[in-house]
Amino acid sequence: MPTTARLGGVYAAAITPLKPDYTPDLEAIPLYLDFLWQRGCQGALLLGTTGEGPSFSPPERLAILRTATKVRSAHPDFHLLAGTGTPSLDETIALTRSAFDLGLDGVIVLPPYYYRKVPDDGLYEWFKEVLLHAVPQDGVLLGYHIPPITGVPLSFGLLRQLKDSFPTTFAGIKDSSNDPEHALQVGKLFGNDFLILNGNDRLFSLAMEAGASGCITALANLFSPDLRRVWEGFKNDKPDQNAQDRLNTARTILERYPPFPPLIKALLPRLHKLPHWQVRPPLLPVSPDTVNQAWESLNDAGTFTDAVEIPAL
């Protein structure tokens, strides 16, 4: 089965449950992933931007990934991707190799983001080393294109060079550019040969029309049923504009209160009666007034469309 079909779908950019002392709540992680599955997610990205990935040490990351695989005992087809990119080449190789050793479906790798004005040739050499030394022949690596955060874009020329050199293991891109023109162009240039997972809920339908295989978004922690409706609609040639409109509204509201991880962790208890998990500094919890404002705006806009029973956490 082609990678685009096998790993396409709706992924949550999963939050990482943390205890009050900022340590990972390992017991909660597989239960939270089960919650995401019940809400219609086909997979999760662990330790991405929403998951505060760069805030964790390599041993912490490995403990989180190892614990996350426990969700497979109940849901063997639930896809798990890991964010393994760091500015260190050796550390990225080690984390990437460990993710595959643990049985994850693939990795999503940030470019080395400390030096922001490096040429594509340098980025190619860096990704080449990761692909050669950490990704097995049946493994899948996606580049993480999020220039608003990293300051290091993955150009179309770089993507083409990596795809030509590693046609199976360099499988695609998580496109978090938040740029509709980029979403159109990456689909036009690479089409069905590339696993394109869009990172902005507001652009999901546009990206699917352009050839994306699915999405990985922060809002999937809260509104995955509508994301699933959009995805299923395109798969069945019956686009669900109502679901996309609700996602547009929710995304517009939540973008008023950046960054996403503290806000999502504060809204989950309101919406789904989950624990109120901590964020790790430098992120700080949002104020009760901010949570109330966001909650009331979402509720008044009619973005809440369902309620789902979840296991006790």
User: Could you list the active site residues?
Assistant: 49, 114, 144, 174
CA distance 284 to 188: 40
- Specify the pairing of strand 195-198 against strand 170-175: parallel
SS3 29: helix
User: Burial, 281: exposed, middle or buried (Cβ in 10 Å; 0-12, 13-18, 19+)?
Assistant: exposed
Q: Return the HEC string of 48-95.
A: CCCCCHHHCCHHHHHHHHHHHHHHHHCCCCCEEEEECCCCCHHHHHHH
Angle at 259 between CA 253 and CA 262, to 5 degrees: 95
Backbone angles phi and psi of 212, in degrees to 5:
-65, 155
Question: Residue 77 corresponds to which tokens in the numbers above?
Answer: 């087809």
Determine which helix (DSSP H) or strand (DSSP E) holds 271, and give its type and residue range.
helix 260-272
Cα torsion at 61, 16, 42, 241 (round to 10°)?
Answer: -140
Backbone angles phi and psi of 11, in degrees to 5:
-115, 140
Burial 45-84 (b: 16+ CB within 10 A, else e): bbbbbbbbbbbbeeebbbbbbbbbbebeeebeebbbbbbb
Do residues 9 and 43 touch, judged by C-beta distance below 8 A?
yes
SS3 30: helix
Determine which helix (DSSP H) or strand (DSSP E) holds 247, and give its type and residue range.
helix 241-254
